[in-house]
Amino acid sequence: MNASVASPATGAQHSPDRPIIGVLALQGDVREHVAALAECGAQPVLVRRASELAAVGALVLPGGESTAISKLLEVFELLEPVRARLREGMPAFGSCAGMILLASEVLDTRPDAKHLSGIDMTVRRNAFGRQVDSFETDLDFAGLTDGPVRAVFIRAPWVERVGAGVEVLATVPSGPAAGRIVAVRQGKVVATSFHPEVTGDLRVHRMFVDLVRAAE
């Protein structure tokens, strides 16, 4: 991993300019989020235990396999601690599987899968189809300047319903899925159907890091 990973247990120094942001490191594209956060001026911390979660000011839930991550949250005794931190107002960002985990309702998932209810929304898992249906497109993303965001969708979900307090940040511009919601924000919690961590475009991560700084 090229980006260095801070550890509060080994002397990471909290600073409002370099907030300590955890990356849930149970499964999925962890290293890509670590690299993006570091480039945006944050101190990324790998989170696998409740003690590590307690030491961070915000949390990123990476893309991966949502049902596997939900099971591992229980195995590592993190499910309830993460839920509690979200209820307390911890900033969070989820991409793809992370969006599914942050939902208050999930469609087309396993009956034993758990979710975190960080955003009042209904998400449909694997809504765009299988791996072979993965695609890229340009999105207008609310609050981001300098042109559209190049979005990579890999077995991605979409949002079917949002609550009254949820802001829609991006929708699919054209094609069979035109108008489908693929990025949202509720308070200090942000979620995207796509993977901004894989494109080299840091604007979504920078937006989140700025959100965390403002919340401290």
Residues labelled catalytic = 96, 195, 197
Residue numbers in the known binding site are 64-66, 125, 154-155
Distance of alpha carbon 27 from alpha carbon 66, whole angstroms: 9
For 18, phi then psi, to 5°, come to -130, 75
Task: Rounding to the nearest 10 degrees, give the CA dihedral for residues 160, 93, 187, 50.
Answer: 120
What does the block give as tokens for 23? Answer: 């990356």
Which position has the token pair 């955890």?
22
> The tokens 């998932």 sit on which residue?
109
Q: Please tell me the distance from the alpha carbon of residue 69 to that of residue 84, in angstroms, as a whole number.
A: 17
Annotated binding site for L-glutamine: 64-66, 125, 154-155
Distance CA(158)–CA(106), nearest Å, equals 10
Distances (CA, A) of 86 to 24, 58, 101, 176, 190: 14, 9, 12, 34, 12
